[in-house]
């Protein structure tokens, strides 16, 4: 129950952060990705703000033997810079550049009554399923 | 540069960082949204609950903020839905193949100094820049 409440509260803070920073406006995201055009560097500052906090906090948190409400940290053990990583990240970047949405803002769009979010999330799940089928 | 919003961008980023901090400190989990979303398909019950809670939290957070400050959200009009679906498909497929997105790799992975996440972030951002460049400046399509 405790972990459920933490997840809900973290999600709410995350959602407010996305809406405040305007990551939820796909046009703003695309203007950030458009260096050769009328570049809007705002989203660079979203990353600066987020990373300033996480770099400081993660370093301290991961010195602990375990998190407060669980017995272990659930971290990826993968470290290889392999083909799936590069090709996958490239495909994701293309989809991001076409749509203006990465997964978080697509979910947040549901809270804004954004009908684009429904189509985007549908597409994302089709992509998940296609990857699962190909990966078997 | 007329649409540059440095303060709200920075403040929003700090909140995103705080959310990731809470989730790691208390639950030991990485705030990776694509992983949470795909994890809804075949998760165990316990895994399903916290992922749903976080994702519903995002919806609630965005909803509440928009009630208080409606001028931060500008709906996009006339964007072709078929193109959006293709974009979504690529985002879904790519984030599974590359094990993460903007939140998991960029916000959380880089904070752990994971070389894998740094490479992934540079790759998807580079491809995002390239894709928009091709669409807007080579093909000359303004969407």
Q: Which of B6, B37, B135 sits opposite A124 (nearest CB)?
A: B37
Residue B17 is predicted with a pLDDT of 98
Q: Is the pLDDT of residue B1 over 60?
A: no
CA distances from B115 to A115, B111, B119, B142 (A): 37, 10, 6, 35
Q: Could you read off the pLDDT tens digit of each residue along chain A, which spans 136 residues? A: 899 999 999 999 999 999 999 999 999 999 999 999 989 999 999 999 999 999 999 999 999 999 999 999 999 989 899 999 999 999 999 999 999 999 999 999 999 999 999 999 999 999 999 999 998 7
pLDDT band at B2 (very low <50, low <70, confident <90, very high): low
Residue B44 is predicted with a pLDDT of 81
Q: CB count, 10 Å around CB of B91?
A: 31
Q: Which of B22, B72, B133 sits opposite A6 (nearest CB)?
A: B22
Residue B3 is predicted with a pLDDT of 84
Check CB contact under 8 Å for A91 and B93: yes
Two tokens at A53?
């906090």
Alpha-carbon span B48 to B41, nearest angstrom: 9
Rg (CA), chain B: 17
Which class for B138: exposed (0-12), middle (13-18), buried (19 or more C-beta within 10 A)? Answer: exposed
For an interface test with A, give the residue of B1, B128, B138 to mutate (most A CBs within 10 A). Answer: B128
Number of domains in chain B: 1
- By the 8 A CB rule, do A31 and A38 touch? yes
Check CB contact under 8 Å for B20 and A132: no
Distance to chain A for B32, nearest Cα, Å:
9
Question: Which chain B residues are Cβ-neighbours of A102 within 8 angstroms?
Answer: 33, 91, 101-103
Distance to chain A for B120, nearest Cα, Å:
6
For an interface test with A, give the residue of B1, B89, B105, B131 to mutate (most A CBs within 10 A). Answer: B89
Task: Please check whether residue B143 lies inside any domain of the structure.
Answer: no
Alpha-carbon span B102 to B87, nearest angstrom: 15
Which tens digit of pLDDT belongs to each residue from B78-118?
999 999 999 999 999 999 999 999 999 999 999 999 999 99
Q: CB count, 10 Å around CB of A81?
A: 13
pTM: 0.96
* Domain residue limits at B22: 6-138
Check CB contact under 8 Å for B135 and A98: yes
**Residue B109: strand, helix, or coil:** helix
User: Kindly report the CA angle at A22 between A121 and B119, in degrees rounded to 5?
Assistant: 70
Check CB contact under 8 Å for A12 and B26: no
Task: Please check whether residue B120 lies inside any domain of the structure.
Answer: yes
Check CB contact under 8 Å for A13 and B19: yes
pLDDT band at B46 (very low <50, low <70, confident <90, very high): confident
Q: Which of A38, A75, A98 sits opposite B30 (nearest CB)?
A: A75
Task: Please check whether residue B84 lies inside any domain of the structure.
Answer: yes
ipTM over 0.85: yes
Alpha-carbon span A125 to B34, nearest angstrom: 10
Q: Which of B12, B22, B95 sits opposite A46 (nearest CB)?
A: B12
Which tens digit of pLDDT belongs to each residue from B22-43?
999 999 999 999 999 999 987 7
Which class for A37: exposed (0-12), middle (13-18), buried (19 or more C-beta within 10 A)? Answer: middle
Check CB contact under 8 Å for B120 and A89: yes
Task: Please check whether residue B62 lies inside any domain of the structure.
Answer: yes
Q: Which of A16, A57, A104 sits opposite B102 (nearest CB)?
A: A104
């Amino acid at each position: 129950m405790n972990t459920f409440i933490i997840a809900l509260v973290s999600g709410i803070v995350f959602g407010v952060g996305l809406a405040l920073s305007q990551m939820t406006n796909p046009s703003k995201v695309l203007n950030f990705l458009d260096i050769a055009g009328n570049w809007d560097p705002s989203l660079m500052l979203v990353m600066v703000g987020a990373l300033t906090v996480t770099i400081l906090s993660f370093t301290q948190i991961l010195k602990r033997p375990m998190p407060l409400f669980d017995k272990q940290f659930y971290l990826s053990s993968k470290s290889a810079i392999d083909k799936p990583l590069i090709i996958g990240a490239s495909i994701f970047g293309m989809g991001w550049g076409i749509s203006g949405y990465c997964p978080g803002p697509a979910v947040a769009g549901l809270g804004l009554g954004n009908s684009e979010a429904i189509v985007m999330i549908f597409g994302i799940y089709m992509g998940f399923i296609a990857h699962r089928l190909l990966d078997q | 540069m007329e649409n540059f919003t440095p303060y709200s961008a920075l403040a929003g980023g700090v909140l995103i960082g705080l959310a990731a901090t809470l989730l790691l400190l208390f639950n030991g989990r990485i705030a990776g949204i694509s992983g949470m979303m795909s994890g809804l398909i075949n998760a165990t019950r316990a895994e399903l609950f916290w992922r749903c809670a976080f994702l519903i939290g995002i919806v609630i957070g965005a909803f509440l903020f928009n009630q208080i400050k409606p001028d931060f959200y500008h709906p996009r009009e006339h964007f072709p839905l078929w193109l959006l679906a293709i974009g979504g498909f690529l985002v879904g497929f790519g984030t599974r193949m590359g094990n993460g997105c903007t939140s998991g790799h960029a916000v959380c992975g880089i904070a752990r100094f994971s070389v894998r996440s740094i490479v992934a972030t540079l790759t998807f951002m580079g491809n995002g820049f390239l894709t928009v460049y091709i669409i807007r400046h080579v093909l000359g399509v303004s969407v």
